[in-house]
Chains A and B, each alone.
Chain A
Amino acid sequence: MGFLSSLNFLNPFALILAAAVPSAILLLYFLKLKRREVPVSSTFLWLKAIDDLRVNSPFQKLRQNLLLILQLLIALGVALALARPAANVGGSEGHDLVLVIDRSASMSTRDGGPGNPTRLERAKEEALRLIDDLSIGDRAMVLGFADTADQLQNLTDVKGMLRRAVAELEPTHRGSDLHDALAFAASLTKTQQGRQPEVVVFSDGALENVAELPESDLPVRYVRIGEPAGVKNFAITGLDRRRSLEGGDIYQIFVEVANTGDEDGVCGISLYLDDHLIDAKEVDLKAGRTASVLFERPSLTEGIARVQLEGEDWFELDDKAWTILTPQRLLEVLLVTADGNYFIHNILRIDPLVDSAALKRIAPEEFKAAESGIGDYDLVIFDRTSPGEALPPGSYLFLDAVPLAEGLGLMDAVEHPDIVEWDESHPATRFTDLSLLAINTAHPIQIRTGDRVVLQSTAGPLIVEPDDPTSRSLILGFDIYQTSWPLQSSFPIFFANVLRWLSAAGAEQRGSQVRTGDTVRVPLPKQGATAKVTGPDDEVHEIEPGRPEEQMATFSRTDLVGIYDVEGAEGGFERFAVNVLSRSESDIKAREQLTLRDKRVAGEAKAEERNREIWWWFAAVAFAFVLFEWWIYNRRVYL
């Protein structure tokens, strides 16, 4: 019984055969089909022999039907083999599996070089193997994840549906974050009482945001897909472009190239502008090292710039990156100030981006949001004066002032707050060092959840980007005059950053190049307008504002790398580029262990099956019967 209770049938439908085929054989026997007619001189000697035989042995019927019995046994053996009997070697029945398949960019790696299957294809194979391995009573669900998770198949025991779900899994070019998938599996535990699902992750283990994974005590298995060592890959991990510091309308393009493989090598980098090669460089990169390359050519003023790594490696997606070079447009800035601000005024005046002729200064009492025509300005700066009314969508900079919004405000003044930290990843603080910023008096900013703190002091946030879906603004909780800032090098850089980020030009710049999975905000010409985005795969997406009153639509289907064309957006926003630019995705070495929030899971090079298939055993028995029957038939030796 011990053996029988651990016996499963992975394809129980074949057992129907086991019933059907023998019945058919029996039917044929009873119908006496297929009897070959043989003329003989006389049957009377035979009749006598048959009669004698019948008299002599009561089991003659049985004996005569030995071939029939053998055929039944053969059919039974074949049917049992087709039912794929398997000995359960992995514990109890009634398992629930959550098959979590990584379809992030790195899963497009072809281990061993071009021509080999991608990691996703191999992950699918492994998943299919586990699905085949499911016993009666087992269930599974299929999740695909990149930076988010999608449920492709709900919990079911129908293998066909599971197989289809796995087969339909499409690769993405996004990053990989297991958070959603694990949360999903955890929620499943709550709804399926008594059955704790087992999570099987098919991945190369390159996960982002591991620390933010939900806590769970679910058993997790990690099926490692891909080579853990000996990989070959050069990657573009960074791409940026900015106006040349010497002014003018020439762009500089910064490329960060990493050798994420295990071999040292020389990597050729080519720069194309609108598909014309305009520059090429070479870097000698040791394994694991990163190099920066700067391209600066007079022709880099407008167009689609494409950086491409030459040569073949295992992972192609990070060998190309695009950025959009937009022609320069001068900004119109409105400065709302009571008595003028010398530093700000001069900063604006000398910045080549700002149309100094159109620079306008008005007193706070003159400012009326509805009348001042502030929608025409690319940027409005409030200097030490908070607007008394709600502002239309736009770009705003508040100096020692706050916009009118619930929960936002300036706290009481504090003396000499010390700088604790600043958000180096924020566009406004790039290339700046604010550690030496000395502030005499400041008004720390009262913030809401969702607001992003850019500069944190001992007294509280001093620079904040408020969470506002319609406008882009930055709040400084201190007066420039009360600081040493104008005397420091970070001051002009910060304001140059702020101008580019807050202004429409900044919006273009920001939107013109994103990473896969990021959302792109598309400015619309008027309320209620829609735009069309055409992806690199020529799929057209219609986008519209999340709320009717907004003039901004969000596009989040940045699944693929390449150029996305935008139709119907406001002034000049015609296209944007989507790149991988991810160090973690480009690091294609498959991890030996899967690192989760609080545990490490050792990888299985092959998904371990719970059932050991023993169909060949039944097939062998059936074959033996076939041989036996053949021998008997030919030699007439039986009985």
Chain B
Amino acid sequence: MADETTTTDPAAGKGASVPTVPVVSEGPILDADFIGRLSKLDIISRKIFQGKIKGEKRSKRRGQSVEFADFRAYVSGDDLRFVDWNIFMRLDRLFLKLFLEEEDLFVYILLDGSKSMQYGSPSKFHYARKIAAALGYISLVNMNRVGIGAFSSQLDTVFSPTRGRRHLHRMIKFLEDVTPAGGTDMREACRRFALEHPQPGVCIVISDFLDRNGYDEAIKYFAARKLDIHLIHVMADEEVDPPLVGDLRLVDQEDGDVTDITVSAPLLRRYKANLEAFIESIRSYAARRGIGHVFTTTSRPFDELILRYLRERKLLK
């Protein structure tokens, strides 16, 4: 499936093949109607990737394929099978026919499963999991290989790269089984995941990026692998505009760290400024390194995020 124009009515055509979507406490991860609309989407890879088998992706790499791309002059050692004999007959020079090689795409999704993701109502984790499921589904139906890793203070569980719609149920089950626990150590998790998944592809990190050790070290492991990286920054509304009042003792959900505050307007202003700076720092970090960045709060309608927002950000097409 090269592009969406080739697809017929997805909801009617594929609804039956979609396994019943399990319902979790905060609602289903994906509902059938939404899944139908997701089917029109595909993951965009902005770099040339080489897959293991000839996949559905049009690779920028010229190679063996049916789609002609260009010619180039023969140099010794080239495969004689790709010599364009017609041109040799006319021009008496050896040219090689270059074809666009089609290959499958690796889509890696790293889902933050630390305890801090449990915050908010609905929780950030639920929201993040839905994003992961949606992206995973889009990838599966487009015959990409999907690998998912859930991490907290380490890489907790991994859904090994899998291709094909038939694995959708397994993927959703995997996502369901992830429960937020432990602290956040993105560096260690990314390092492990990058080591275990050397194939190039698209890497989507869904997290609140609330890691005391910072996120930049972690992202470097992927950047070094020439992966097409996207950061989806999820925050709860309660974090953006804290509904707090009075003398409080804030307890860190991850490490139990305690901070006494007296809520005041300047403190809230300062907090919001800090939050703004934090989000901005991620945005500028991403921009400098050609990394895609999407910031969202849990109040943004989920389908709007997937159907419009991510497309605008060139993650989906």
Contacts and interface: CB of A to CB of B under 8 A. Distances in A.
B251 A37 contact: yes
Contacts of B91: none
Interface stretch (A28-36, A372-380, A539-547): A28-36
B247 A43 contact: no
Interface in B233-267: 236, 239, 242, 244-254, 257-267
Given A46-B259, A637-B265, A41 B208 contact: yes
Interface string A608-637: 000000000000000000000000011011
Contact of A67 (B249, B250, B262, B267): B262
A88 B100 CA distance: 104
A36 B259 contact: no
A634 B245 contact: yes
Given A32-B260, A48-B274, A639 B265 contact: yes
Nearest to B124: A41
Nearest to B272: A49
B307 interface: no
B309 interface: no
A383 to B, nearest CB: 108
A636 B253 contact: no
B116 A41 contact: yes
Contact-size category for B: 35 or more
A40 B119 contact: yes
B262 A45 contact: no
24 contacts: A32-B249, A34-B247, A36-B249, A38-B248, A38-B251, A39-B119, A40-B239, A40-B242, A41-B118, A41-B120, A41-B210, A41-B236, A42-B210, A42-B253, A49-B267, A49-B271, A49-B273, A60-B266, A63-B264, A63-B266, A65-B262, A67-B262, A636-B245, A639-B264
A373 to B, nearest CB: 104
Contact-size category for A: 20 to 34
B212 A44 contact: yes
A50 B260 CA distance: 10
Interface in B43-92: none
A38 B117 CA distance: 16
Given A34-B247, A63-B264, A47 B259 contact: yes
B247 A35 contact: yes
A64 B260 contact: no
A26 to B, nearest CB: 14
Interface string A61-102: 001111100000000000000000000000000000000000
B274 A45 contact: yes
B266 A40 contact: no
B122 to A, nearest CB: 14
A46 B269 CA distance: 11
B270 interface: yes
A52 interface: yes
A370 interface: no
A53 B267 contact: yes
A57 interface: yes
B195 interface: no
A37 B252 CA distance: 10
A432 B252 CA distance: 112
Contacts of A42: 116, 208, 210, 212, 252-254
B1 interface: no
Contact of A44 (B119, B210, B265): B210
A45 B275 contact: yes
Contact of A638 (B253, B264, B275): B264
Given A37-B251, A44-B210, A45-B271, A64 B262 contact: yes
Given A41-B210, A48-B274, A36 B248 contact: yes
Contacts of B287: none
A52 B246 CA distance: 19
A46 B244 CA distance: 12
